[in-house]
Chains A and B, each alone.
Chain A
Amino acid sequence: MQARLEARRLTKYYAAIPAIRDVSFTLAPGNILGLLGPNGSGKSTTISLLTGLREPSVGQILFNGHNITDHLVDYKARVGYVPEDAHLYTFLSGREQLDLVGRLRRLPSGLRTRKIATLLDLFGLTGAADQPISGYSKGMRQKILLVSALLHDPDLLILDEPESGLDLSASLMLRHLIPMLAARGKVIVYSSHILDYVERLCADVVVLHRGRIVAAAPVTHLRAMMQRESSLEDIVAQLVTTIDPEGTARDIAEVVGQRG
């Protein structure tokens, strides 16, 4: 199948310090890619390059075979993005924020109003839709981000910790929604620390560590590589963990228990 999204040797420097180096992967329509790695591994940088919000220092991103920097606006029109931090215009209401995004993405008035109302209802936000976002909880803001990313029916969904702050029912709904969207031919990049989610949702994973890919393969291949029936959590832990989790946990418990 023809690649829809291709990252070629992406490298990004911040003041001469490389945040990522030689990151490459390819995604076909319907693929869900799990982007994994510890804090500071380069996940957020990779995502910011994939969204087109930043340019790579070296390398290129191809969407349907075209370099995105040559058609950045057209590319962004086909991307839905949920960032890690839920920064929204807090003086707008949820509906106004979505209206702003819908209008900028040129959704026809009737369709936009209908879609926003329905999605707000499905995400359980109708009651708070006309209240300022400044009063929203983290979960409510996250839902606005999700609706905002889905509003224009994008071909590529980039989700950075999308389950963050969501309540249980919204979280379960998201777990069902993502495979459905993939089944409709959308490409999904899913970054998360909750490896259980990634294991359930993503056929392929890219594991980043200190800015480099340390593993890029289907989850089943990774398991075979490790030569045992381990969970994705165990595999990632073996690849990127530099501390002894159990020992560190014991030390923390000791410190917590100190008195006087």
Chain B
Amino acid sequence: MTPLAGGDDAMTFRLVTRLFLRRLIDNDLISPHADRHQSLAVLFGFIDSLAVFVTFFLSTPYLSAFIQLPGPAALSALSDRFLFTAGSITISALGALMVWDALALEARDAAILGPLPIAARTITHAKLTAAIVFGGVLTVALNAVPSVLYPAFLTVNIRGIAGATILRLIAVHATTVTMAGLFGFFGILAIRGMLRLLLGDQAFRRASNGVQSVLVVSMVTALLLAPTVRARDVRHWVGDAVVPPWPVGPVVWYLGVNETLAGHLVAETPIVLPPRMPSIASLQRENQAARAAYCQLLPPFAAQARRAWVWLPLVTVLALTTFLWTNRRLPDRSTGVPAPSRLRTIVRRMAERYTHNDPEAEAGFFFALQTLTRSAPHRTILAIAVAAGLTHALMVLAQKDGHSLQIQTIPVGVFGIAIMVLLVLVVGIAYAVAVPAELAANWTIEMAWLGDERRYLTGVKRAAMLLVAVLLVLLLPLHVALLGIVVAIVHSLLSLLLAVAALDALFLPYRKLPFACSYVPLENPKIVWPAGFVSLLLVTYGFATVERSALHTATRTIALGVVLGAFVFLVKAIDRVRRRERRLIRFDDRPARATQQLGLFEHLAMHD
């Protein structure tokens, strides 16, 4: 075969890179069935509008101040910059996690590009370049607008600050959050590469899904916890020589870079009062004290910044070398298929015994478990739900003082930990069932469907309860430590009963087939999501209060259990009545029409 000339090589590299990049966006980030331009517009619109909203929200005190003192502004900006940096790291890392499987050469690459006369090295380099471009664009899209707006808003009411200083603040902010974002992205790439290198291909394939889910949970939890960090916490971590919790470390490093390069520009700006305003000594004193406090932090910030300068190249080199090494050859199709694990076989046998003579319930049970644990979008939904629960748990634990097993002295929030985790998981599952497992394969279920949705749904709910039970078991040691063994077990049982009730209640109006119908987005998310969030808090803390009160005596505890049981029984009875009549399922529902449309095709659509 004639080898390609040098110029052709460069062109091939560009073409293959473009192919990988397009596929990263089309097939891995967005569903292959969605419109790329529309989905990208929505995605970047969402990211940017969220970034702008957060920037405005954080800047409100600076925008509304009549006179902004530079010293206090430099101090209070620490928590804002902490949030921007943490957001950049976690969201970039989440971006990498969303395309986790595509961050290496896959069997489909071998199938499509293998037969073509392209060197394996060109394919590997193109894949790496596509991944880097993807990570870079994501980081820039995320940080571009806040990098300009935030420094401008921070200094808008600091009189006398020079335009060049503001530009420098913008440049430094942009640099540090971009560095942080790249650290997050390359960090995930490095973790993936290291794991693959250490475990080997076969073991990595087995562990890959689990690792991805754990990382998504960690990143979402970190992202949700970031807004709770106050400027005082940052000062404490940096200035008091207290070792910050290890997940906070990288954020503080990049914060250190920002403060070292530009922090003094704000802090050292002299106070310029408006004309005709007399100098107020108290303002001067306040500014002086804040400036002194801030300047004390600069040496420790410099130490943190040095870590950032070391770790970013280190992680980048690690990511690139492990990628190049583990992807030096095109993957073999036959090695991409791990055999079923022993655990899976045991679960299958137990479930078959449990649902014997009810094949549709079995179908629902197994398909739900398989989809929820193996399909990437469904795993992500569950991971986000678990992360939300975990965030709440960490916040409660951070506020808990002392250690007492007396029920009346235990904060309500402690009882709310399991309730919140289980409820968000149940809500996550109820949301996940509306997302098709694989849209193009829906015909399989549509053809084989015999019309009894109740049995199939029973199986799906059992699978959901299995996941709930697993989570409760994982939480049990924590509850034993917080509540004592007896109360912990009773609390877990009552939480389980509440989760059953919530699951049945959420599925009551559901008249479709889980994972097998087209996805129809919520018509009014602006109302439903906030209302859902408030309801979640009310149910969690309402039930936690009732439960804490009930756990004082055995009689009350039993009464609560009976009431919950009766509620579950009632919901199940209503569900049975509602589903008695078999109905045809609409597998291919379409979203509601937009409120404004040109209607150019209405005269044609009537014939469809």
CA–CA, A135 to B334, complex, Å? 7
Listed stretches B17-25, B258-266, B335-343; interface member: B335-343
Asked if B449 lies at the interface with its beta carbon under 8 angstroms from chain A, I say: yes
Asked if B595 lies at the interface with its beta carbon under 8 angstroms from chain A, I say: no
Asked if B608 lies at the interface with its beta carbon under 8 angstroms from chain A, I say: yes
- Given the known interface contacts A15-B607, A16-B604, A135-B334, the answer about A103 and B443 at a Cβ–Cβ threshold of 8 Å is no
Are the CB atoms of B438 and A89 closer together than 8 Å?
yes
Listed stretches A94-102, A192-200, A209-217, A244-252; interface member: A94-102
Main SS at interface, chain A: mixed
CA–CA, A65 to B334, complex, Å? 49
- Given the known interface contacts A15-B601, A101-B444, the answer about A91 and B370 at a Cβ–Cβ threshold of 8 Å is yes
Q: Which residues of B are found within 8 Å of A109, using beta-carbon distances?
A: 352, 356-357, 359, 362
Residue in A72, A105, A137 whose Cβ sees the most chain B Cβ within 10 Å? A105
- Given the known interface contacts A83-B443, A90-B438, the answer about A105 and B448 at a Cβ–Cβ threshold of 8 Å is yes
CA–CA, A112 to B338, complex, Å? 24
Residue in B438, B444, B445, B608 whose Cβ sees the most chain A Cβ within 10 Å? B444
The 8 A CB mask of A96-125 against B (1 = contact, 0 = none) is 110111111111110010000000000000
Q: Which residues of A are found within 8 Å of B547, using beta-carbon distances?
A: none
Are the CB atoms of A104 and B363 closer together than 8 Å?
yes
CA–CA, A147 to B446, complex, Å? 17
Are the CB atoms of B444 and A105 closer together than 8 Å?
no
Asked if A76 lies at the interface with its beta carbon under 8 angstroms from chain B, I say: yes
Asked if B441 lies at the interface with its beta carbon under 8 angstroms from chain A, I say: yes
CA–CA, A97 to B445, complex, Å? 10
Chain B's closest residue to A79 (CB) is B447
Contacting A108 at CB < 8 Å: which of B339, B359, B446? Answer: B359
Listed stretches A126-134, A180-188, A224-232; interface member: A126-134
Are the CB atoms of B608 and A14 closer together than 8 Å?
yes
Asked if B440 lies at the interface with its beta carbon under 8 angstroms from chain A, I say: yes
CA–CA, A97 to B374, complex, Å? 14
Asked if B576 lies at the interface with its beta carbon under 8 angstroms from chain A, I say: no
Are the CB atoms of A72 and B584 closer together than 8 Å?
yes
Q: Which residues of A are found within 8 Å of B603, using beta-carbon distances?
A: 16
> Chain B's nearest CB lies how many Å from the CB of A10?
15
Chain B's closest residue to A112 (CB) is B359
> Chain B's nearest CB lies how many Å from the CB of A47?
12
Are the CB atoms of B438 and A101 closer together than 8 Å?
no
Q: Which residues of A are found within 8 Å of B451, using beta-carbon distances?
A: 73
Are the CB atoms of A53 and B446 closer together than 8 Å?
yes
Chain B's closest residue to A73 (CB) is B451
CA–CA, A131 to B370, complex, Å? 14
- The 9 A-B pairs of least Cβ separation, nearest first, read A131-B337, A103-B363, A135-B337, A87-B440, A104-B448, A103-B359, A91-B374, A73-B451, A16-B604
Contacts A/B (CB < 8 Å), 28 sampled:
A15-B601, A15-B607, A16-B604, A53-B447, A57-B607, A73-B451, A73-B584, A76-B450, A77-B450, A79-B447, A81-B447, A83-B443, A87-B438, A88-B444, A89-B441, A90-B438, A91-B437, A100-B366, A100-B367, A103-B359, A104-B359, A106-B359, A106-B450, A109-B362, A130-B339, A130-B340, A132-B338, A134-B337
Knowing that A73-B582, A134-B336 touch, tell me 5 more A-B residue pairs with CB under 8 angstroms. A16-B608, A87-B440, A103-B359, A135-B107, A135-B337
